[in-house]
Amino acid sequence: MHILNRYYQITKFYSFLKDTVVKGSTTIIVFILLLVALEFFVLDFNLLLNQIVTSYSYETIFLFFLVSETVLGLIPPDFFIAWASKSANPWLFLLILATISYAGGIISYMIGNRLILIPKIKSHIENKIEKHIFNLRKWGGLLVFLGAISPIPHSIVSLASGLIKYNFKYYLIWSLFRYARFLIYALVIFRVFN
């Protein structure tokens, strides 16, 4: 443990972790405050979510979410968790959303694993997410864990894991924390929207 602690100090993992926690906490607080402000001053989110529930089939929403979770996390999962709170089976839909997010990460991993074979794409992607790749090589599973549990887009970490050919078995294990993220966020979001 002492050697591992020293390694994390030398590689500045602790400062990276602190920065991630601060940014993640700030993002969560800003998101909640934004939702409350929008709800109070501008929109009736309950009405909006009810309209989405009645206007679109859940299959359409799930498919859109899979695309979002595969392609660099286009829309934060929190919106979909809020949508699930208005569904007929919120906890079942939450489990389905978490599973879709997990599957989207696996698809991103596979895409990264194949993109690395194309020289031009490899060069372009490595430049765009170079910091994530560098940190993933240094800290491996801990960064996958942070990508699964925090507001860091899970698909970017998954893509980077595939690019550097991070051990797939370990990737799958660390990514299971995605379910914990959905549960924790749902405990807050379900209270706000119900």
pLDDT at position 104 is 92
Distance CA 95, CA 65 (A): 13
pLDDT at position 15 is 76
Distance CA 149, CA 180 (A): 7
Cα dist. 53→56, 58, 76, 87, 88 in Å?
6, 7, 18, 7, 9
pLDDT at position 178 is 92
pLDDT at position 194 is 64
pLDDT at 190 over 70: yes
pLDDT at 176 over 90: yes
pLDDT at position 160 is 78
Q: Which amino acid, one-letter code, is at 91?
A: W
Residue 9 banded pLDDT, cuts 50, 70, 90? confident
User: pLDDT tens for residues 28-43?
Assistant: 677 667 766 766 676 6
Distance CA 122, CA 141 (A): 22
Q: Is 151 exposed, middle or buried (0-12, 13-18, 19+ CB in 10 A)?
A: buried
Mean pLDDT of the 118-133 span? 70
Mean pLDDT of the 158-182 span? 88
Percent of the chain with pLDDT over 90: 18
Q: Look over the chain and give the mean of its residue pLDDT values, rounded to a whole number.
A: 79
Whole-prediction pTM value? 0.72
Of residues 92 and 3, which shows the higher confidence score? 92
pLDDT at position 32 is 67
User: pLDDT tens for residues 137-153?
Assistant: 777 777 788 778 877 77
| Element containing residue 165 per DSSP (H, E) | none
